[in-house]
Chain A
Amino acid sequence: MRKVVLILGATSAIARAAAGEFAEQGYDVYLAGRDAEELARIAADLAIRYRIKAGWGIFAAESLSDHGRFFAQAISNMGEMDGVVLAMGYLGDPIAARNFDTGGAEVILINFTAAASILGHCANYLEARKQGFIIGIGSVAGDRGRQSNYTYGAAKGALALYLQGLRNRLYDSGVRVITVKPGFVDTAMTYGMPGLFLVATPQYVGRRIVTALHKSADVIYVPNFWRYIMWIIRLIPEPVFKRLKL
């Protein structure tokens, strides 16, 4: 029996790498995103390279009421679903995102509200099957609010809490829920950005996402040292932290 994984937000470099890693493991994939041309190209690529079945469908994250129909269509296209990778994300312009009327609402909608909405449908399905996995890609930005991108950070932080709750709920039904927190990744989102350090490749993040399934950790940082960096950052007392320019 072949396994199938749903990739939400499949056109990002991290998602494409993760899909490739799953395909290499023999999974069929169903790619969801809003860019039909890109989805078709990535699906064709995965099917040729890994000789798997790669389907795709348009997923409009902001249309929450459409999520149920979308998920049902994905199931009917692929026959079944063994797991989900939530890779969609929207950084936006951090300054504009300070206010909801200039972009903040969209950042919260895509990174948290829509993510929670579609994962709700996935969770119900997997809970009923009593197996499978949900892998959510959060961000180290969600570990502590900082002036540079706190709207994005708040949404990713909320997503991490939501995944934590799902993990607790789905434990008894044998469904794994894994939170992945990448640091800086070499993608279109960060290309040319000043002040980056210890940048990981999308391939590395993709590989870690898939290997996490064979390990026991519930929350992984990619690369690992971000766990310690963020541990230190969380330890800084708020009276000190609020004075920092981060």
Chain B
Amino acid sequence: MGNQAGVLKCSMSGWGRFPVEECESVRPERYRDLTASAGRQIARGQGRSYGDAALGKRVILTERVNRLLAFDAVAGVLRAEAGVTLAEVLAAIMPHGWFLPVTPGTQWASLGGCVAADVHGKNHHHDGTFGQHVLELEMILADASRVTCSATKNQALFWATIGGMGLTGIIGEVNLKLRRIGSSYLRVRHHPAKNLAQTFALFGDPGLDDQYSVAWIDCLAGGKQLGRSILMCAHHAAPEELPAALQGSAAVGTSRSVAFDLAAAVLNPLTIQLFNAVYYHRQGNKRAPYFAHYDHYFYPLDRIADWNRLYGKRGFVQYQCVVPEAGALTAVSALLQTVSQSRRPSFLAVLKRLGVQNAALLSFPLAGYTLALDIPMRDRGVFDLLRTLDAIVLQHGGRVYLAKDAVLTPQTFRAMYPRYRDWQRIKQAVDPAHGFESSLSRRLGMGYA
């Protein structure tokens, strides 16, 4: 009760299920209804950011403004409303031999969310971020005007919107340049590393490099084995590379749901250490190259519907940071040691080498190494751990990924994002009344000096 027509009050969270907040939500179905009202609001696509980026006083759900508008199957350009999911985009473009230029680890994110967070994928070191493949955006600004922007038109708005966490306006339409592929399969090779130094050496070996690369880290292995990992490299397989059995086939994955909240107690250092040890040996022994369907390779976690519930009701924080190339080994080693010593089990730890920073002012990637860890919210002690990790990252000139953050402070944020001042000037110009505000932006004082 207490709802007015068209407005639903409900509790919401990001994908990490922490924090949970009471929000008002509206859910436009027509493009022209995708607009700001008086007061503070933030657009929310599929709620796949982990922390509080898509929470706020009022949340504009874009899920029904999700039409594909134009697809040039010859040039590989797709124009769509920003509420559409990557999965829907893939379903439309794959049959024509096109793929996303950059994909995050889930296909259930919206196009708008990918732009707002300027997401990256396993090919960042070659192809940059998602935003670098956006040809044009149509923005719906605070004054309700529709404005197109691109790298050559309204550039300031464009580079403040990419990675701008939805704070410059509502992303209405996205025009995206796609990637040509020869098959639905990837040719994958695994390279095991016994420790962190070896992992870095593998990343740096040009002989092993491929279009996509990522290292899965057994983050409970300590001592001499700290940072032992499996580097997984891959590229889209050309049709002639495929074994006969796969040629012309199109396997479709199925999903199964974790139907209940796994008790937080089930995940403990022992069970996760066991899982990681088994996984390391199983995957590490796959020495020969193999072919994986894109669904399995890019979106393994999508196959476990609601995998975020694995961490129980209290949710989790996904801590993702990047540290510059110089000193990265020391920094990542310190980060892993800190997590390992805290005895807080991380189910998933991923290390990846990133390429150069782009022109988007709040974009996360920079040339160096990015580490991502799931940390369950078991008690308040988690915050102390995260502050310690922040300090290490900052000391090495790195930063934390806003799309996953739930705990940064305004000071740390400003120190980590040196181009924030430039971004803030643009925010001030396009949204002087702070009509676009999320819980993330309120926590970090984004838009203010």
Contact = CB atoms under 8 A, between A and B. Distances in A.
- A and B together in one complex: yes
Interface of A: 11-13, 35, 37-38, 41-42, 44-45, 48-49, 187-188, 191-194
Given A49-B68, A192-B7, A192-B8, A37 B32 contact: yes
Contact of A45 (B3, B28, B67): B67
Interface of B: 1-9, 26-32, 64, 67-71, 81, 88, 91-92
Contacts of B1: 194
Contact of B29 (A45, A187, A193): A187
B70 A44 contact: yes
Contacts of B31: 37-38, 41
B27 A45 contact: no
B64 A13 contact: yes
Given A11-B30, A35-B30, A38-B31, A192 B5 contact: yes
B81 to A, nearest CB: 7
Nearest to A195: B1
B91 A49 contact: yes
Contact of A191 (B27, B68, B88, B92): B27
Contacts, number: 56
A24 to B, nearest CB: 11
Contact of A41 (B6, B69, B88, B91): B69
Contacts of B29: 11-13, 187-188
Q: Tell me which of A37, A49, A187 has the highest count of chain B C-beta atoms within 10 A of its own C-beta.
A: A49
Nearest to B73: A48
Q: Tell me which of A11, A187, A192 has the highest count of chain B C-beta atoms within 10 A of its own C-beta.
A: A192
B3 A44 contact: no
A44 B68 contact: yes
Nearest to B30: A38
Given A11-B30, A193-B5, 5 more contacts: A48-B71, A49-B68, A192-B8, A192-B26, A193-B3
Given A191-B27, A192-B4, A193-B3, A48 B92 contact: yes
A48 B3 contact: no
Contacts of B30: 11, 35, 37-38
Contacts of B9: 192
B357 to A, nearest CB: 34
Contacts of A48: 68-71, 92
Contacts of A45: 67-69
Contact of A194 (B3, B26, B91): B3
Nearest to B78: A48
B444 to A, nearest CB: 30
